[in-house]
Amino acid sequence: MKIASVIVDVAAKQTDRTFDYLIPEKWADVLQKGMRVIVPFGPRKVQGFVVGLKEHSEFKKLKPIVELLDPYPVLTEELLQLGHWLTEKTLCYAISAFQAMLPAAMKATYDKEVRLLYPEDMSLLHEDVQQYFKQEDAVLLSGVHQDHLSSFYRDIQKGYLEVIYIVKNRARKKTVKGIKPLYAAVQLQQLAEQMPKQAEKQKNVLAFFLKHPGEIALKELCEQLNVTQAPVKALVNKGVLGETNIEVYRQPYDEEAFGKTSAFPLTEEQEQAITPILQTIEEAKHDVFLMYGVTGSGKTEVYLQSIDQVLKEGKEAIVLVPEISLTPQMVKRFKGRFGSKVAVLHSGLSSGEKYDEWRKIQRKEVSVVVGARSAVFAPFQNLGIIIIDEEHETSYKQEETPRYHARDVAIYRGKHHECPVVLGSATPTLESFARAKKGVYKLLTLRKRMNDSALPAVDIVDMREELRGGNRSMFSTLLFEKMQDRLEKGEQIVLLLNKRGHSSFVMCRDCGYVHTCPHCEISLTYHRYNHLLKCHYCGYEQPAAVTCPECNSEHIRYFGTGTQKVEEELTKLLPEASVIRMDVDTTSRKGAHERLLDQFAEQKAQILLGTQMIAKGLDFPNVTLVGVLSADTMLHLPDFRSSEKTFQLLTQVSGRAGRHHLPGEVVIQTYTPEHYSIQLAGQHDFDAFYQQEMMARKMHQYPPFYYVALVTVSHEELTKVVAVTDKIAQFLRQKLSNNTVVLGPVASPIAKVKDRYRYQCMIKYKLEPELIPSLKFILDRYQREMQQQQLSITVDLQPYSMM
Ligand code: ADP
Ligand code: ZN
Ligand code: ZN
């Protein structure tokens, strides 16, 4: 083939199509679809993906491809198709879809290189510039000091310097220095014999290579022979040994730390659940299963044994788990069963480590991948199963372009590979459960916990009563008594502070003034540690006020409760208790999350206090009490899923108690004890919650009865935002059918972020063939303003965040 069709790395409407390039003769045989290339594009060079090969182009005067970045396709035929599907399903550009499927390290970054045009006449240049070219004739613009940039631009404009756009490939393989013999054994033997007596260490090195003729890492060689690098270097200098680079993988996990585990004999319930899965594996058939099983009912064991069958068939498996449950405990369960066949992909890895794990998949060195959302794009070519654990987790929806849901991608791939997709949860989404009830998904149910351990008893405490009774502390009498009891018994306690939504805002008790961010429409959060008020959206901060800026009153009160404040109160009330606090502040450093959990597991502290991040996946045998400090903070968010999310969180956190031999108890503190999501979570009654919530959804026309799409418009000028959103809403009302509801324009729940106003328009529809074309039309129509006037319009089909 002579011509390649390329999608270039310029995310814009005009460039969202293929461009044709000539394939240089030397690559005619090697270039394939799915490879990354570097191509000239205007004055620049950019990265691109080859999506097609052909003999002829309708365009004349094609430019040739500059460079080939991969020796083999990084996107398989299937992933290329999936990319196109994503552009349709999420209204994104093809380049964004392709990039989302690959590790970030493979995304190109660009730099400008500046070169001398008249190297013989340096005096033309500004003094600032001259110093850069004393030793080199090319300089990266990114490496030029701020103060010297204007001199560079002056000389570029005068034509003394030339600018070359370069593409940096960040996907570096890690190598270590290796050593290998340059002679055959016979000659090495002779050389060793000729060496003087003093050169004993060099002789040892040669003797080693007589026994092990291959290459070896320099470090390992020195360790094995217990010598310094000097004798090796000496032999290299003599030309006896040669230096090499050995490619190694960065090892984020210590493989030996995972003890081997073997399959449990399944319980009857597990047996019933796994049988239809195994059958689809055997028949190589696609089906979607919803495995609905209470926490601790043995879902993971069913996953493990299904995967085992897939591996026996010589196929591969993808397991998705939410980012926050991707704990070492979780990894251990998979590595313990399948050893080095498992690759792990999560955000805690460096971009180099992620790239290495990805390459193991690509080179077929592993056959199971356990990872967060984007692992659904793992480049396996012979998939036998895709599992999504905790399928209700909102983190499976990507909240930036491409706005895809991992479940949809999994089902797409499952169809392509003719393999089952298993969704597991103790609290499935209403969407999935409704599909299972209709028979679209196959429902598998695990009702019993392992060892028949009972679900913990739940007490719901009305905090309004507590206040009336004179208890102004953040702990109800009941919770406090139970905490004292556990501390005495030497058992452990988990306390959840549900902070999403409200955080500790600051209010004047006299006039009601609340400190808000001047750039974003949200209240500032008080940070006790450095006495600052911070905006959690834009990072704005100011010192905490002592008096009210409105009325000068000194009655400033810190509302809502941060984990720090709870910790302080704990140390006051229960000075003997040791507390581990887990929140964004204490877990921001790499590895901190795991370290804190390890400490708690080793019982170095009796109380684990934290935000949502402690609610999931943790399994500590000695935890017998879980306290939820305020259950309602999420209930009042402007989001039609707020009841569902509250129910899920309460159910999850309750599942942390009494997972083993000791029975567990849960205390839920709330200001709205009558709300059904709190009541029914307390009774562990998902089915009743499902019934009730479905009625509410039906009445208000929300999913799963209707689909929802959200258009959000933002701009610095309020009038502009309102005008554009209004036009969009009018246009949609006119284009879409009468059964479709177009709501808005209204200000978004967070009406201003980083000095930009935000308005939205919500569309509720059932069957609406005109929706996608209409939304595309809108994006086209505003294309220029989006580029030139910083107008932003985002379309989210199936939004999970309504803010
Ligand atoms: P889930 O994923 O539903 O929360 P798990 O798979 O983690 O449940 O199972 C809970 C506990 O029971 C785990 O410690 C697991 O090792 C154990 N377990 C699972 N299946 C069996 C079985 N068939 N026999 C004995 N123990 C089991
Ligand atoms: Zn005031
Ligand atoms: Zn802000």
Q: 751-782: per-residue pLDDT in tens?
A: 888 889 999 999 999 999 999 999 999 998 88
CB of 299 sitting under 6 A from ligand 1: yes
Distance 473 CA to ligand 2 centre (A): 24
Tens digits of per-residue pLDDT, 391-442?
A: 999 899 998 999 999 999 999 999 999 999 999 999 999 999 999 999 999 9
Dihedral angle sign, alpha carbons of residues 202, 204, 208, 209: positive
Per the structure block, which two tokens stand in for 50?
């080859």
Q: How far apart are CA 173 and CA 775, in angstroms?
A: 42
Q: Which of 270, 290, 301 to mutate to test the pocket of ligand 1 (most atoms within 8 A of CB)?
A: 301
The answer, yes or no, to whether residue 25 has pLDDT greater than 80, is yes
Q: Is 511 annotated as a binding residue?
A: yes
Of the ligands numbered here, which is closest to the C-alpha atom of 513?
2
User: What value, to the nearest 5°, has the Cα angle with vertex 634 and ends 630 and 636?
Assistant: 110
Q: What is the pLDDT of residue 501?
A: 38
Q: What is the pLDDT of residue 529?
A: 67
Q: How far apart are CA 520 and CA 767, in angstroms?
A: 36
For domain 707-796, the CATH class is alpha beta
Q: Whose CA is nearest to atom 17 of ligand 1?
A: 298
Amino acid at the residue 594: E
Q: How far apart are CA 286 and CA 418, in angstroms?
A: 4
Of the ligands numbered here, which is closest to the C-alpha atom of 321?
1
The answer, yes or no, to whether residue 560 has pLDDT greater than 70, is no
Considering the four listed CATH numbers 3.30.465.10, 3.40.50.300, 3.30.390.10, 1.20.1090.10, the one that applies to the domain covering 255-450 is 3.40.50.300
What beta strand segments (E) does 372-476 contain?
383-388, 421-425, 442-446, 457-462
Q: How far apart are CA 250 and CA 272, in angstroms?
A: 41
For domain 3-108, the CATH class is alpha beta
- Ligand 1 atom nearest residue 295's Cα: 4
Q: How many CB atoms lie under 10 A from the CB of residue 509?
A: 13
Local structure of 204: helix, strand or coil: helix
First to last CA, the chain: 50
The pLDDT confidence band at residue 502, using thresholds 50, 70 and 90, is very low
CATH code, residues 457-503+560-697: 3.40.50.300
**Arithmetic mean of pLDDT, 796-803:** 84
Q: How far apart are CA 593 and CA 608, in angstroms?
A: 12
Tens digits of per-residue pLDDT, 72-106?
A: 899 999 999 999 999 999 999 999 999 999 988 88
Q: Whose CA is nearest to atom 5 of ligand 1?
A: 298
Q: Is 761 annotated as a binding residue?
A: no
Please, are residues 373 and 395 in contact by the beta-carbon 8 Å criterion?
Answer: yes
Tell the burial category of 247 from Cβ atoms under 10 Å away from its Cβ (0-12, 13-18, 19+): exposed
Local structure of 140: helix, strand or coil: strand
**Arithmetic mean of pLDDT, 374-378:** 96
Distance 515 CA to ligand 2 centre (A): 10
Please list, in sequence order, all residues whose beta carbon lies within 8 angstroms of the beta carbon of residue 795, skipping any fewer than 6 positions away.
91, 709, 710, 711, 775, 778, 779
